[in-house]
Structure 1
């Protein structure tokens, strides 16, 4: 065969193949865009109904389907948009173009829900047996916030989170709650898998005191496609912690590139914000994908401190001496006060800004990936999710004034100093799994490993007991130790739909096994951060603001958790949907627990349904609560000021806790009841109303201080501490199952999109009303005397208010979202209910902040096809909480307990223990977003 013949033969074969493709190859192609803005929509699913054939639009919103001749119906769906169906007739050798313009769906009530069900039935949040909020990424961005906790705080009324101030590590991780319960009573899932907890345990006087939550801000919001919030007890479905509900974070999957950048600052000129997030998605074959996200966030510090009126160089606020007359005492105070004022003037000491009361400075960098790769020639896929996050923060403590000679080396800091806590928080996770379908069985095998570490460094401080070294040799920076928590969870599950075999619309059975290993570690700091090098001098040892963890605090604790669950969901009739679930878990450190749930929804008509559930749940004590211990300086309110005390937190299994009669920690037990309605009274109006009651027994609390004293109770404490060789410790604290609570509430969501002659408008009214109260007696440890004064230190009136009154008892949000061609605007009105904070002993010092209305407004303009600019203001009207009351501040003329002051000599203008929305004031920003 010569070359000429060969080339002729190849040309003939090629022409023949082209003719065959022209004759027999047909395709459907098209372009999918937003009906309102005309922008391309990447990642839209185009499925041929009745088959597994489909496609996903590329970065330009384009798709291609190759099919045999025939009649087809295409189903076009995309998160946040109304699903469309399109009939298509495809002729032999033809190419048919089907362009689609998708319309945004009615708020979140029409969104398809994944959380709360393992069935394959497609259900929206008005069709589920329990209430679910579906929050899209665009809704998160529209808040103008950059941290996930704050974004959710302004779009989900049942969710609460406020930044804390002067509260050690809690300044760097925002406590987050659901339905007014604790941070550790809501379970967080990432792509449907359990997310690990944070390493930090909240110990200061903040929301969630004594609890361990999940660090939501370790997840870049740029990586999130949507958030699903299940507002119902779900321990039987997802395991421990799901007493208040479940937050499921769904990561982005679609191809294309999105970029979001924001600059902003507070009205006061501080709190500067810079954020940039980039997400890029790749298609891997026809059904696979790889989505990569990188995000950087800078959040500047804010300061809303008041002018200081207390002693600086001379302590004129000392108590009355033995044998001293009142007149002599007042005269001495006045003399010392004048001496102090003279020194303040001579040294030009500023009485402004010597304390930082506001949000901490934080830099945050994160990277996330999300991937799925189909396994060739099978119905299975390998999937993976991984993330790395690093955060560095800086927050101030209480100023140490030069008159406090037991805490200040005056040769080093002649004017005192403001010590800082510097945090380094590392968070990482990796999920790898494989799932598929065989003979109708949907199966999934996965393993997720995650961890969080929190390193404490103290800067601009001193160890007063090292004063003998002189100013040049004294250290001012200290490594104070590291907390870490790691978790490995393995799951295997299977589910199958038996509806057809049973003659039902659906009858889904799901079952699974889980194994989890938890590890909690405390690494001690350097010796200078915790030692007292001259105990006879009377000067305090350890780094001021945060004494380091000691070798006696070091721990490396593990536990194993085994679990099994069964979940059945069925449409027994066209009207009745029923779900039954049960889960057993066994913990190696405290035993087993069985949780169950029964839920149902009855559809009376297309316009009205009734739903309800009853369940029991549990929350296992965290390893942090079982094994944390530390010696720290705690500032205690005495009515005349804040008094520093060396306080020891002792492990639940320690000899000191046992000497007090504290039993081993057990699980918190809950029973949940809910009933609600879902309705579509009009075609463009949706309504859900859900009432709930959550009873929790044996809630774990972090006790107050059992202090040394000269009375009988104080002598008992002194004896216990001395017998344990804790002679430098003034008081003791520990964790205990101590209280029962009942929470009752109501959730309401109304959404509509009224028809306008120009543009589109979505209106959503969402509200949460809740009330938590204590039920029954406080469970005091066996060896604590029953006298009221001493017993109140376990759980006093301040602790009670923090648990029941410190979070808004109602939150109502009304949102208007308007779009007209290239222009868009969002107006959000958020009403935060009242909060209260009680003094530990004196009702005259109780505080109540009245309800406040916060207005957010932003406007956007599409500069180019895929480029938009948004400018806006959060807290547009610069609203602040009610200021603290200063009833009778300490002065040279006032002395003893008669002086009533919650402001700590004017430094605190606003309450920091009970917060509604923070006290930073107004914030304006500009946001640039692009999609390619």
Structure 2
């Protein structure tokens, strides 16, 4: 028998002995929570022991149990759609205590106990907090008919916005998500109250959140989520970097029993087939409140395609410029002649002009597994853990390469051109483990969370045009490299409520410390994915659509962050609630930052309260923004159509960036102001209205292309690139602190449950109105003159519109949820506000897209006691955004005019630069949910 085995057995015996001793002093309180009108058990009810960190949820039959030491306690029992109840109990050493509770229905927003934004043990609803919080239960997420967390949130949280992107490289596979119209990296994501790691991918294409690094919410199975809390307020002083716009906290399921949710569906257009199944199984461990919750989920999302009819050049390039001294008539005749030749070859080769691109959702297969557990070690201490893995495989297309593009196409390999694909493999892992408890009134928590994300790029159905000598034997598939980001966060906190000793209802003081390590890595692709084998040929090197990362791009960077905070919340009177917090963080790569917050809520009466907050915040530059570099093919709007350019992204600390005069990155800093009212004028009516202003300075942006030229700034760019040996690169880009913005807006949430003779009805009106504008001047590179040549601007008018106009200025949602016996119905109207796009150079190509209303409807029937079937449709009236208006038509009278075209010669029917709700049209589905 080995020494290790004997040691393990000894440790196990000691632990079991300690568990037996500590648990012997605890007694069990148990009971059942039922619906007051039907006496049916309610699963998933939250039961919190006030002034402690203890709590539990009911199982599938509505039963619960937890372990408490002798004494007097108050249980707070709450569930969405029901009135919260406080139940006093007394525990003695004589045995089990039974506390049954019957809940009565009420509007959902009135009874949801909020956890995020406060470290106090005082249970508060969303109308009692100092800052606005949306609480979205799992059944509300399922009722959207969506299966991905980002899309579920998009239709239930008015300030949240996320739309799928297309023809955007890796961003086709990870949806950028924002709050209050700000950036994806200006919202902090927590999982069970702990910081969630960022994604490895940095968004560098022309999408919402360009230049930012978000958090991949879709890596978390929706079947594992019990509820989502969205804090709509600056919270850097409470939670650290990134929390400028707010915080999203995902709470995982804890209840015993098994739930299964499955859905199949497809778009009205016949594509985008979806199949999803998620299974959650909760196990009750012992009689002391322990649990183990396991979730597995798989979802397949088929590709969609909303491509238009291509009317540009295929075999012969007729989109040519005017020759020197050429007359109008000669120029038109020459272009017409080339066009006729091209049309003849198109007919001869039977080339399909109507389906040579894929513009829509990428195909994605997603599989994930999560666990969530809590094991009481005594009546006042517990071990907890949360862990998960997620695997995703995606396939998206780029721009079609046509035969006339001889610098990009090996015609012996692809005589009719080709549509290259980017195939992604995304792996995500995380593990949180910690201990928490209470001792002499001090609540303590020690935890560590390690997580990361890796994004592998493979290119298929492509070529490296510089391998033209190999003809039909040239390589068609390439490994293009891998991005990875990992993070380890250790924290410790202690809190105590001194209210009773100060003669106050509450005076909670929380202090904590955090130590974080960030790791960022770029692994280069295979040689053929990036190399130009014959630079003198004029042909492009590397894999078309996505040239691989080069050895010069490889990086293995890390940094450490040390933080400390204090958070005080007190009920100074029965009417006045006050909160203040301060936090200091020090980064090894750029220095320190301090953030503070003051917030208060005054309750004039049960029917009316006023709340306000002021805070400063910050967002540290990500390692991605500091160290990312790549050479890629970027299609740039030149006012004469889209032009492919070999563009280099150079590190902020590189000699090239320094030659441009770009300073080192520093933190974005914000000032947040918020004022709001909450009201309950009637027992079944809740109103919250919150206005806000967020001023951010030194926002980090991803610059435009600084292009080569022969004069002015263009000549300086050429000399810098040539001097660095980048002779194949047409233009340069980098990250810089460049702009200041101000965002103002208002959030409104009104919820009511009117009394009906039969059945129940919940009505919710939720709205967000916001406007972002640039303030101050743009910080231009110090070593470049203000040159009017196209592209030589750090932040052009297209970028300005993307930051201020490309997300809906308003989103208004009206939802009705009706239930009668076994039947249910959900009807939702969502109005997405106007969005606008600007062209980089030509105002004639600017376009605005009108507001649209999307209608979702579903009906459900409880087939058996534990099985419910739902049939529904999202976007039931098949609404699409406005079509692009600037579409070039190659008619004889247009051959002499400048090309005004946003559609890439008819291929894009809808804008890909600003999308209100996507352009896939209606979707119908069948959903089956069961609980045991």
Normalising by the smaller structure, the TM-score range is over 0.9
Once residues 495 and 71 of structure 2 are traced to their aligned partners in structure 1, the CA distance between those partners, rounded to angstroms, is 34
Secondary structure of the 1:715 match is helix
Matched, 1:466 2:467: yes
In structure 2, what is the equivalent of residue 391 of structure 1? Answer: 392
Offset of 1:102 from its aligned partner? 3.3
SS of residue matched to 1:227: strand
Between 42-51 and 814-823, report the one with greater CA deviation.
Answer: 42-51
Kept in 1: contact 2:419–2:462 (CA 8 A): yes
Change in CA separation of 1:38 and 1:215 when aligned onto 2, cut-off 3 Å = farther
Paired residue for 2:561? 561
**Kept after mapping to 1: 8 A contact 2:706/2:792:** no
Secondary structure in 2 matching 1:898: coil
Does the 8 Å contact 2:51/2:122 carry over to 1?
A: no
Unpaired segments ≥5 residues, structure 2: 1-26
How far did residue 710 of structure 1 move? 1.9
CA distance, structure 1, for counterparts of residue 655 and residue 94 of structure 2: 85
State the Cα distance separating 1:468 from its structure 2 match: 0.6
Aligned ranges for residues 672-821 of structure 1 at < 5 Å? 672-789=672-789, 793-821=793-821
Q: Which of 348, 356, 359 pairs up with 2:358?
A: 356
2:337 pairs with 1:326: no
- Does structure 2 conserve the Cα–Cα contact (< 8 Å) formed by 1:36 and 1:819? no
Confirm or deny: 8 A CA contact 1:565 1:583 kept in the other structure.
Answer: yes
What displacement does 1:886 show? Answer: 2.7
Q: Which residue matches 2:21?
A: none
Equivalences for 1:517-556 in 2 at 5 Å?
A: 517-556=517-556
Q: Aligned pair 1:415/2:422, yes or no?
A: no
CA distance in 2, matches of 1:150, 1:75: 32
Partner SS for 1:717? helix
| C-alpha displacement of 1:81 | 3.6
| Per-residue deviation, 1:49 | 9.0
Superposed CA deviations along residues 787-821 of structure 1, whole A, max 9, x for unmatched, are: 34468621010000000000000000000011011
Quote the Cα distance in structure 2 between the aligned partners of 1:533 and 1:892.
41
Deviations 1:391-443 (A, max 9, x none): 00000000001111111111111111100000000000000100110111000
The 8 Å contact of residues 319 and 896 in structure 1, kept in 2 or not, is answered as no
Map of 1:443-462 to 2, 5 A cutoff? 443-462=444-463
Instruction: Report the TM-score when normalising by structure 2.
Output: 0.94
Could you tell me how far apart the structure 1 residues matched to 2:526 and 2:73 are? Answer: 71
Q: Deviations over 1:483-529 (max 9, x none)?
A: 00000000010000000110001000000010000011000000000
| Pairwise CA RMSD | 2.5
Distance verdict in 2 for CA 1:95–1:239, change over 3 Å? closer
Tell me which residue corresponds to 1:231.
232
SS of match in other structure, 2:332 = helix
TM-superposed CA distance for 1:225, in Å, is 0.4
Number of the residue aligned with 1:371:
373
Task: Tell me the equivalent position of 2:113.
Answer: 112
> Would you say the 8 A contact 2:888–2:905 is kept in 1?
no
Q: Does the CA contact (< 8 Å) of 1:316 and 1:892 recur in 2? A: no
Count of aligned pairs? 905
Residue 498 of structure 1: aligned partner: 498
What's the counterpart of residue 667 of structure 2?
667
Runs (5+) with no aligned partner, structure 1: 1-25
Partner SS state of residue 881, structure 1: coil
Listed one character per residue, the Cα deviations across residues 442-466 of structure 1 (whole Å, up to 9, x for unaligned) are 0000000010010000010001111
* Structure-2 residue corresponding to 1:5: none
**C-alpha offsets along residues 894-925 of structure 1, whole Å, 9 cap, x if unaligned?**
34762211111100000110110000000000
Structure 1 residues 50 and 679: CA distance shift in structure 2, 3 A? closer
Structure 1 residues 519 and 440: alpha-carbon distance in aligned structure 2, compared to 1, 3 A threshold: same
Cα separation, 2, equivalents of 1:238 and 1:72: 30
For 1:154-303, what aligned pairs fall within 5 Å after superposition?
A: 154-285=155-286, 286-303=288-305
> Does the 8 Å CA contact 1:890/1:899 hold for their aligned counterparts?
no
- Maintained 8 Å contact 1:80/1:136: no
Pick closer, same or farther for the CA change 1:228–1:72 going to 2, 3 Å.
closer
Secondary structure at the counterpart of residue 375 of structure 1: strand
The 3 A distance-change label for structure 1 pair 39 and 869 is farther
Change (3 A) 1:632 1:33: same
SS in 1 for 2:188: strand
Displacement after TM superposition at 1:35 (Å): 5.2
What is the deviation of 1:60? 3.0
Q: Which has the larger radius of gyration?
A: 1
Residues in 2 aligned to 1:805 and 1:88: alpha-carbon distance in whole angstroms: 55
766-775 or 640-649, which moves further after superposition?
640-649
Q: 2:309 aligns with which of 304, 307, 323?
A: 307
- Other structure's SS at 1:342 match: helix
CA distance in 2, matches of 1:241, 1:629: 23
**Cα gap change, 1:603 to 1:75, in 2 (>3 Å):** closer
Paired with 2:887 and 2:519, the residues of 1 have a C-alpha distance of 48
When normalised by structure 1's length, the TM-score is 0.94
Q: Alignment partner of 1:390: what SS?
A: strand
Distance 2:49 2:508 in 1: 24
Q: Give, in angstroms, the shift of residue 324 of structure 1.
A: 3.2
- Structure 1 position 104, deviation (Å): 4.4
Match of 2:22 in 1: none
Q: Output the CA distance in 2 between the equivalents of 1:91 and 1:657.
A: 71
**What's 1:3 paired with?**
none
Cα drift, residue 474 of structure 1? 1.3
Moved more, 332-341 or 72-81: 72-81
CA distance in 2, matches of 1:106, 1:291: 29
Determine if contact 1:110/1:126 at 8 Å carries over to the other structure. no
Provide the secondary structure at the position in 2 that maps to 1:529: helix
| CA-CA distance at 1:887 after TM superposition | 5.6
What pairs up with 1:74-153 in 2 under 5 angstroms? Answer: 76-78=77-79, 81-84=82-85, 100-153=101-154
Question: Do 1:784 and 1:791's aligned partners in 2 also have CA atoms closer than 8 Å?
Answer: no
Aligned to 1:636: 636
Deviations 1:580-638 (A, max 9, x none): 10000000000000000000001111111100000000000000000000000001112
The equivalent of 2:20 in structure 1 is none
Residue 850 (structure 1) aligns with: 850
The whole-number CA distance in structure 1 between the counterparts of 2:481 and 2:44 is: 46
- Check whether the contact 1:288–1:374 (CA below 8 A) recurs between aligned residues: yes
Counterpart CA distance in 1 for 2:335 and 2:790 is: 32
The whole-number CA distance in structure 2 between the counterparts of 1:207 and 1:707 is 23
| Cross-structure match for 1:836 | 836
Moved more, 785-794 or 900-909: 785-794
CA distance 1:415–1:110, change in 2 (3 Å): same
Conserved in 1, the CA contact under 8 Å of 2:704 and 2:791? Answer: no
Task: Name the structure 2 match of 1:401.
Answer: 402
- Distance in 1 of aligned mates of 2:228 and 2:336: 60
In structure 1, how many angstroms separate the alpha carbons of the residues matched to 2:429 and 2:537? 45
Q: 1:334 to 1:98 in 2, by over 3 A?
A: same
Q: CA deviation at 1:538?
A: 1.3
Equivalent in the alignment of 2:8: none
Question: In the aligned structure 2, how far is the partner of 1:53 from the partner of 1:356?
Answer: 52
Deviation at 1:305, TM superposition (A): 0.6
Q: Compared with structure 1, are the counterparts of its residues 578 and 631 closer, same or farther at alpha carbon in structure 2 (3 Å cutoff)? A: same
2:604 is matched with which residue?
604
The Cα of 1:333 is off from its aligned counterpart by 1.5
Distance 1:52 1:774, change over 3 A: closer
Per-residue deviation, 1:786: 2.3
Q: Within 2, Cα distance between the matches of 1:496 and 1:882?
A: 56
* C-alpha deviation, 1:64, in angstroms: 7.2
Describe the superposition over 1:770-797 as per-residue Cα deviations: whole angstroms up to 9, x where unpaired: 0000001101121110234468621010
Q: 1:361 to 1:810 in 2, by over 3 A?
A: same
